[in-house]
Structure 1
Amino acid sequence: MPEGHSVHRIARQFDRNFVGRPVAASSPQGRFVEGAGILSGRTATSVRAVGKQMFLEFDDDIWLRVHLGMYGAWDFAGDILVDPTIASANGRMGQTNQRGTDLDDPIFDGAGENSLTSIGAPRRTRVHVRMSEQTTGLADEGDEWPPPVVGQVRLRLLTVPSPSPLAAGASIGASGRVGPVTCADLRGPTACELQTPDEVAATIAKLGPDPLVDDVAEGEERFTSVVRRKPTSIGLLLMDQNVVSGIGNVYRAELLFRARQNPHTPGRDVPEEVVRELWRDWVRLLAIGVETGQMMTMDDLDPEAYRAAMASRDDRHWVYHRAGLPCRVCGTAIVVEEAAGRKLYWCPSCQA
């Protein structure tokens, strides 16, 4: 499932490429025809991400709400402006202690996790898990514009080009189109709907604090207060978007391991200082995830190990997806369990 860092990266792409520009909208799949018709011709005016949801505002107080769910993703093509905070941070940033590692060249993950043109569920997940929404990404556009539709595209958004090269603000992009002209294709979302401002506010009000949206100190108090009242296990609470926004299966497992916290402990029994450290660690890891595109959770890696970690998920996590393998700290076999329909990875020794 795409976690909070991915949705914030998507929002930054929309801010750079769509906000302030009229769009042409369509639903090649046919499941969002009415909504696309309402959006088409309108100008995107703002965008925000909260947890795992993105809200794209258009004129006349119309909002598009997208929740990628397990298998959703946005694919971008055309003349793409990349937010400078994420453009090449994967080559210079990522140690979880914020010390940083300076690499000569950016490193791109083999599964495309830190892609700048396809953000969301990994492509291999979209292909093998949900064939009805599958995609292998946008086709090589060549001279064809807009690019051919690939897979089940719920919503396609195109920025409307200037009418001529002489139009105010027009420029000719690398593609040769009068532009900028950018294409964004949405596939496999759990939710894709239009909302009023009141509906957006109501949706956001139900969500737990997001470190990149809410005041960090206030968010810590909200998170701590809720967790310390709940009989529910801390492992489930971290995945509850009403408790805290943006944490998914990977970050849940890694945060708990880094805190050496047993995932089955009821929230009300977790020491307050541990709850607060979980929040503070989430603040750190989310910022790194947004900037690098990677759910990097290991500290103090030497340059060789850091390069390997940036290139492969298998080398950047403490416990996630390591069932049966020895714990990197104590050597005990990592356990995987089912918890509310999701896989929970943890070390029964370090997190006893």
Structure 2
Amino acid sequence: MPEGHTLFRLAREQQEAFAGRPVHVTSPQGRFTAGAELLDGRCLDRVTSYGKHLFAHFGGDALHVHLGLYGTYTAGTGTPPPPRGALRMRWEGPGPDGHGVWTDLRGATVCEVLTAPEVDRVLDRLGPDPLRARSRDGALAHRRIAASRTAVGALLMDQSVLAGVGNVYRAEILFRHRISPFRPGREVGPEEWAALWADLVVLMRAGVRLGRIVTTRPEDRTRRRGPAGREDAHYVYRRTGLPCRICGTEVATRDMVGRNLYWCPACQAA
């Protein structure tokens, strides 16, 4: 599932390509026909993201998209290819340089038109997003974590606690701070959380800049100079059975809240 940095980049890219101009909106698949007709030909004001949610604002209405596990956007310039398969929604318009631009949406969990009050209700259900300037103190997230006996590894995946963090950031941020994913949330202290939150802001902003998640420090990589290769990008995520980069213990995995959890049993001892 795309994590918060991906949605942030998508919002910025769609803003640059379409904002300030009318957008031709269609639903070749037919599942979004009513919404497409409501938005078609209207001027796009802005595109924003919050956590894993994308909002394209057309006057008083907003297109709300949640990609879920399988949703994807593709985009291009010039004439778009003929619609094929389950193409939920297509945007077409004049780009900022006068050439045509387009983007296609497939497989999204949510694709709907909301009013402003309905958008507010979606946002009210979400915890703070590390990529949103007004919520970067993380205090609300820690209050919810500190009040819970649930394992912190599960709490970090709860979007009502923390918005935008997915399976990769969960595994990597807990390893970087040597916190067991099985520790109850109420045992994560305020200073510990403050350090974790600040690190998460840095990592997610780097994810926006790079277009990928890199959590390893140069001194912990096989190749210490230059950009991190795919094999060096993470400490524990998808490294089951491989030696921990710090202590050599085999990285472990098990299911937690429906997703594979990765951790080092030695560095992150309970």
Band of TM-score, shorter chain: over 0.9
Aligned mates of 1:35, 1:216 — CA distance in 2? 31
| Matching residue's letter, 1:263 | P
| Matching residue's letter, 1:43 | C
| Matching residue's letter, 1:284 | V
> Structure 1 residue 205 and structure 2 residue 124: aligned?
yes
Residue matched to 1:19 = 19
Contact 1:24/1:160 (8 A) holds in 2? no
Report the alpha carbon displacement of residue 289 of structure 1 after superposing the two structures with TM: 0.3
Aligned mates of 1:33, 1:160 — CA distance in 2? 22
> Structure 1 residue 155 and structure 2 residue 155: aligned?
no
User: What's the secondary structure of 2:234's corresponding residue?
Assistant: coil
Bigger drift between 292-301 and 194-203 goes to 292-301
User: What's the secondary structure of 1:155's corresponding residue?
Assistant: strand
Give the 5 Å matches for 1:171-250: 171=97, 179-216=98-135, 219-250=137-168
Aligned mates of 1:331, 1:26 — CA distance in 2? 53
User: What's the secondary structure of 1:44's corresponding residue?
Assistant: coil
Aligned mates of 1:28, 1:215 — CA distance in 2? 38
Residue matched to 2:214 = 296
Instruction: Number of aligned residue pairs: give it.
Output: 268
Report the alpha carbon displacement of residue 308 of structure 1 after superposing the two structures with TM: 5.9
Residue matched to 1:56 = 56
Aligned mates of 2:138, 2:148 — CA distance in 1? 16
Report the alpha carbon displacement of residue 62 of structure 1 after superposing the two structures with TM: 1.1
Report the alpha carbon displacement of residue 151 of structure 1 after superposing the two structures with TM: 3.7
Aligned mates of 2:118, 2:133 — CA distance in 1? 19
Structure 2, unmatched stretches of 5+, are none
TM-score (norm 1): 0.73
RMSD over equivalenced CA pairs, Å:
1.8
| Matching residue's letter, 2:90 | R
Contact 1:308/1:315 (8 A) holds in 2? no
Contact 1:156/1:185 (8 A) holds in 2? yes
User: What's the secondary structure of 2:14's corresponding residue?
Assistant: helix
Give the 5 Å matches for 1:111-190: 145-160=79-94, 171=97, 179-190=98-109
User: What fraction of aligned residue pairs are identical, expressed as a percent?
Assistant: 44
Contact 1:227/1:275 (8 A) holds in 2? no
Find runs of 4+ consecutive structure 1 residues off by over 3 angstroms.
Answer: 301-308
Contact 2:18/2:94 (8 A) holds in 1? no
Deviations 1:140-175, CA, capped at 9 Å, x for gaps: xxxxx23222442111001147xxxxxxxx85xxxx
TM-score (norm 2): 0.94
| Matching residue's letter, 1:56 | A
Contact 1:28/1:153 (8 A) holds in 2? yes
| Matching residue's letter, 1:300 | P
Relative contact order, CA 8 A, sep 6+: which one is greater? 1
Aligned mates of 2:225, 2:22 — CA distance in 1? 42
> Structure 1 residue 319 and structure 2 residue 253: aligned?
no
